[in-house]
Every structure is written in structure tokens, then in C-alpha cells.
Amino acid sequence: MAFLADALSRIKPSATIAVTQMARELKAQGKDVISLSVGEPDFDTPQNIKDAAVAAIARGETKYTPVAGIPELRKAIADKFKRENGLDYKPEQVIVGTGGKQILFNAFMATINPGDEVVIPAPFWVSYPEMIALCGGTPVYVETTLENNFKLTAEQLDKAITPKTKWFMFNSPSNPSGAAYSKDELKALTDVLMKHPHVWVLTDDMYEHLVFGDFVYYTPAQVEPALYERTLTMNGVSKAYAMTGWRIGYAAGPLPLIKAMDMIQGQQTSGACSVAQWAAVEALNGPQDFITESKKAFEERRDLVVSMLNQASGIVCPKPEGAFYVYPSCAALIGKTSPSGKVIETDEDFVMELLATEGVATVHGSSFGLGPNFRVSYATSNAKLEEACSRIQRFCASLK
């Protein structure tokens, strides 16, 4: 009898974590590596948020919290949804978890039965299908195209829905492509969902505040209020407030679903870190200047990276609306040979050879469900980005 669970055979390790770890190991060996593989802002957590955490420790806020979060944070989240998204949630309709990953996992665990399908536009964040598979569900992938800026069309969504569809997994701005849906583009999708009342929407809004230019952000239940009763709106403080290590994600939705997620979390981790929750209260209720400043820096970096990658031989890099990723195509380089004699047969070969020869860590697109592409995170300094893009240009030029 096998010792390890059969469920493990249904999932793969996270490619983003694997590449980041490989880059760390090469650095530890003294190699000059620039990592563009991690989805983490390089800015420090704002001082007012750190001060709130210190004050919480001094007050003795170091005990167990309610499973769904401290009342102050649940209220701050409900207020945020009203203020920024025009969504009315009561604090009891809000749940706080140890990062967005836990929120998603709890939602799937609470709702998916074997055979249930979840529609996921590709490219997608690496963890979505693995979570669904662990919970016994079936991910249904719908491939978007570079020509359509990696956005799902209403026709594609309609075609992918079956009587077995339980959720539509939506992410805008997207990790890995940075694509963000306008109000009209979103309305086309919500119109389809209105035709299929058995399908729920799980929207991952983690990159909500990182949209550029005059782009205006909308979330599904805001565009189509009739979807409110079957939408779980997920977000967190990780990306907008540079709080990745604090591990606070949250969601709001219909009370029966929130109660079910609360029950699962109560048997799993209980409440999230008390001190991190108090820091999150300050993040949501306090000054929001940091978002404006970091957004400006990210927009500059996006423009720099898109420009330099489009000057690399064989690379096509669309300009995304948000997040801090670009998702260039390396299709024109497949079949070429590197100076070491390695034939580039896949996007994984491309990123591995790029790391080995030029010391630039990126993530291959096939791990996000759509290739031949690769994901570049531009959440690092302009100087590092310029150097990394120069190395990518040099690598591409060396392929014959």
C-alpha cells in the first residue's frame, strides 16, 4: 500500500517557486544572477503599517483571533469594498485568511465535488489548477491569444461552460500576463454568466491597484450587480501595500459560502496572524499615498521592459494594462541553437538556457498554461531591469 496520498499525483510543484529557488542557489554559488521570476514588490512595507504592527505588539494583540478575522479588519475590508468597488458587504460576509492562496483553497474545498469543472482562462496563475485538482475538481482551460492581449472573449467563455461547471476563475489584472479587462470587456463576460445561473464567479483582484495610464478598474459584481449572490470577491494586501510576507488575504461573498470557508479554516489554521491583521487594518484605513507612488514606478518599469524586450531578436512583447508582469512570446526562437549547442525546443528550454548562460531567471510560459512564452516580473530596480533586458537581447542574438 502506497504511503503518500493519491491526490499528490494530480498536482505539480509551483514552477515560479522552483525557478526562484534555482536562482537563489546559483547566487549562493557566487554566480551573477538577476531574478525576474518572483511576483513580489521590491518596495518595503510603508512605515505607518509597520508602526501599526509594533503598536499592536505593545498593546498585547498577540492572542488567537476569531477564525474569520478580527472585527476591526473585517469592517475595514467591508468599508474598502464599498469605497473602492461600490460593493455592499456586511463584516460577517468577509473572511480573512493567511494569504490569498488560503482564501482560494478554502473556497474550492468548500464547494467542489469530484467531477465539478472550473473554467480558467490561460495563461493562468500556476496554483489555480493545482488547488482545483487537489479538491477533486476538473480545471477546464481556455487559451487566450497574444493578438487579443491574452483576454478571454465572451464566445470562448460561453463555449467552455457545461452543466458540470461550478466556477469561473477570473483574474484581472492577470498574473502572468498583466492583462486587465475594461468595463466593456468585463460586461461581455458577465452577460454570458447571466445566461448560466449555475456558474459562480471567483474573482482574484489581488493586482487591482496596479493599473496604469487612464485605465479604470472594475470587478465582476460591480459591473453586473445581479452576479452579487454568486460571486466571491478575493483580494489582499500583499501586492498593493508591499506586504507579501505578512500573509493576509481576504474575500467577501454570500454568507453561506463565507460560513463554509470559516468552518474549513477553523479545522485547518484558525485565524491569521494577529499582528499582521492589525497591520492590514492600517493598510486599508490609513493613507493611500504609497499606492500612487509605487504605481508610478511600476508603470515606468513596464515601459522600459516592453521597449527593450521588443528590441530583442525574435521576441514579441505586448504592453499590458496592469500588475508587474509581461508575457512575451519566444515562438520565433523555437528550433534555434544556443552557443552551447543546446537546441531550444520549448519555452522551458529557452528560460533554462537563458538562466545558465546569462544569469537571468524568468518563468516559462507553459507552466502558466500557454506557450511558447515566458513571464518576466519587473518588480525590481530600473538598473537591474536594464541589465537583465540587455542580457536577454544578447542571448536572443546568440541563437542561430
Each residue of 306-331: pLDDT tens digit?
A: 999 999 999 999 999 999 999 999 99
pLDDT, tens digit (0-9, with 9 covering 90-100), for 251-270: 999 999 999 999 999 999 99
Q: Rounded distance, CA 400 to CA 333, Å?
A: 9
CATH architecture of 7-38+290-398: Alpha-Beta Complex (3.90)
pTM for the model: 0.95
Question: What is the Cα–Cα distance from 215 to 181, expressed in whole angstroms?
Answer: 9
pLDDT digits (tens, 9 = 90+) for 74-121: 999 999 999 999 999 999 999 999 999 999 999 999 999 999 999 999
Q: Report whether CATH 3.40.50.300 matches the domain 61-285.
A: no
Q: What angle do CA 376, 177, 398 make, to 5 degrees?
A: 40
What pLDDT, in 10s, does the model give residues 94-103? 999 999 999 9
Ranges 7-11, 13-17, 32-36, 56-60: which has the least confidence: 13-17
Tell me if 373 sits within 8 A of 329, measured CB to CB.
Answer: yes
> Does the pLDDT value for residue 15 go beyond 80?
no
The mean pLDDT value of the chain amounts to 96
Residue in the structure block whose three cell numbers are 473554467? 119
**pLDDT score of 311:** 98
Task: State the maximum Cα–Cα separation within the chain, in Å, rounded to a whole number.
Answer: 64
Question: For residue 165, what is the enclosing H or E element?
Answer: strand 165-171
The residue with cell 544556443 is 338
pLDDT level of residue 19 (50, 70, 90 thresholds)? confident
For residues 183-209, give the mean pLDDT: 98
Instruction: Collect all residues with Cβ–Cβ distance below 8 Å to 23 and sequence separation of at least 6.
Output: 33, 35, 37, 355, 361
Quote the DSSP letter at residue 63.
Answer: S
Report in angstroms the alpha-carbon separations of 117 from 101, 137, 169: 19, 6, 10
Determine the distance from the C-alpha atom of residue 29 to the mean position of all C-alpha atoms in its chain, rounded to a whole number. Answer: 30
User: Where, residue-wise, is CATH 3.40.640.10 in the chain?
Assistant: 61-285
- pLDDT for position 16: 77
Sheet-wide strand order for 231-236: 94-97, 249-252, 231-236, 200-204, 165-171, 117-122, 138-143
The answer, yes or no, to whether the previous bond of 372 is cis (omega within 30 of 0) is yes
Q: Tens digits of per-residue pLDDT, 379-394?
A: 999 999 999 999 999 9
- The CATH 3.90.1150.10 portion of the chain extends over 7-38+290-398
What Rg, from alpha-carbon coordinates, does the chain have? 21
Specify the DSSP class assigned to residue 337: B
SS3 134: helix
Taking the C-alpha atoms of residue 249 and residue 280, their distance in angstroms, rounded to an integer, is: 9
Cα–Cα distance list, 220 to 85, 109, 113, 231, 311 (Å): 10, 22, 25, 8, 36
* 171 neighbors 127 (Cβ within 8 angstroms): no
Whole-number pLDDT of residue 11: 86
Q: What is the H or E stretch that residue 326 is in?
A: strand 325-326
Q: What's the mean pLDDT in 11-31?
A: 84
Give me 330's grid cell: 519566444
pLDDT at position 49: 98
Give me the pLDDT at residue 151, please: 98
Q: SS3 for 50?
A: helix
Element (H, E) at 52: helix 47-58
Alpha-carbon span 224 to 218, nearest angstrom: 10
Q: What are the counts of helices (DSSP H) followed by strands (DSSP E) for the chain?
A: 13, 12
